[in-house]
Amino acid sequence: MSTIEQQEPDETETETETETAVESPGDRRRREKADRAVEDEARRETEEAADEFDEAVDLKVFRYDPEVQGKEEPRFDDFTVPFHRGMTVLDALIYSRDHYDSSLTFRHSCRQAVCGSDALFINGRQRLACKTQIADLDGDTIRVEPLPHQEVVKDLVVDMEHFYEQMHAVEPYFDADELPDDEMEEQRQSRENREKIKMSTRCIWCGACMSSCNIAAGDNEYLGPAAINKAYRFAMDEREGENRKQERLRIVEQEHGVWRCQTQFSCTEVCPKDIPLTEHIQELKRESVKNNLKFW
């Protein structure tokens, strides 16, 4: 009697048949969607890589390091950086530091135009490096320098100590005559008053306005537009105590206060937060005059 051996099915064929049999229309759609996502990501990376190296931008960056022999004299170094859409001056500086010269020094932090640490003199104008799009700049070469009228510490870093001293000179903190009896109760402010001071609260202490001001460049005691704007923010707040407001007005009406402003609007033009600094200074001038009027 003959014996017929049963043939074992091929494992590969079995798995394929099982997958085909088990895969539902929903599973198939999800698998196809995932495949398309992978293909789209690969295509996007290829396009970005092509864009990155199709064009390049030339940077001319100010360099100065008083502590290193041979670098004590100010100079400019040139860097060629691959360009891509959406690239900012800060991106180009970071690329230059990471790929060409790790000693290149500049300040940066949030990269969202909020911290104010990367204010620089870019193509002859005070700007935030993280906010300045390279595509928006004119010329074949981008010139990057530290903020004018301030002492350079190293490369693009300037000493901000004097700027901070001027800001603190106006005592930039809220001081009400009376507080609510209930510590959980808010100090209410009208919508109209909030709108009045809203723009003044946007200052990020970047120092661009102070650097652009010709008066501040020649008068080291001048409070400067940023500090006066900070005084405006509190003096015009209806919740500020009346006695405190009078004290604050006396600070800004001094010889090196609001009356030194010559209404050149340079501070307003370079402010990265679009604060009407010159208007605020003029309004404090009017308040100062009214504060000193006596009718008798």
Q: Which residues make beta-bridge pairs with 88?
A: 133
What 3-state class would DSSP assign to 1?
A: coil
Q: How many CB atoms lie within 10 A of CB 201?
A: 14
Rounded-to-integer distance, Cα 158 and Cα 218, Å: 18
Exposed, middle or buried, 7 (CB in 10 Å: 0-12/13-18/19+)?
exposed
Give ∠ CA 228-231-233 in degrees, rounded to 5: 115
Rounded to whole angstroms, how far apart are CA atoms 53 and 161? 41
Q: How far is the C-alpha of 230 from the C-alpha of 197, rounded, in Å?
A: 10
CA 187 to chain centre: 31
Residue type, 47: E
**Distance between CA atoms of residues 189 and 201, nearest Å:** 15
* Bridge partners, residue 62, by sequence: 76
Integer Cα distance of 166 and 210 in angstroms: 10
Q: What is the DSSP letter of 82?
A: E
Domain boundaries, the chain: 53-158, 161-177+191-292
Residues 161-177+191-292: name the CATH superfamily.
Alpha-helical ferredoxin (1.10.1060.10)
Q: Which residues have CB under 8 Å from 28's CB, separation 6+?
A: none
- What does each C-alpha distance from 143 to 100, 157, 189 come to in angstroms? 17, 15, 45
Q: What is the pLDDT of residue 11?
A: 52
pLDDT in tens, the chain (296 residues): 444 455 554 555 545 444 445 678 778 888 888 888 888 887 777 666 555 545 899 999 999 999 988 888 999 999 999 999 999 999 999 999 999 999 999 999 999 999 999 999 999 999 999 999 999 998 889 999 999 999 999 999 999 999 999 999 998 888 887 777 788 888 888 999 999 999 999 999 999 999 999 999 999 999 999 999 999 999 999 998 888 888 999 999 999 999 999 999 999 999 999 999 999 999 999 998 987 776 65
CATH of domain 53-158: 3.10.20.30
CA–CA dist 97, 81 (Å, integer): 11
Q: Model-level pTM?
A: 0.77
Residue 188: count of CB within 10 angstroms of its CB = 9
Sort strands 141-145 and 55-63 into parallel, antiparallel or unpaired: parallel
Q: For residue 262, which of 229, 227, 216, 293 has the smallest C-alpha distance?
A: 216
CA angle 196–202–208, rounded 5-degree value:
125
Task: Say if residues 233 and 171 touch (Cβ distance below 8 Å).
Answer: no
> How much is the pLDDT for 101?
94
Other beta carbons within 10 Å of 59: 21
**Would you state the pLDDT for residue 54?**
59
**Orientation angle between helical segments 225-235 and 277-292, nearest 10 degrees:** 60
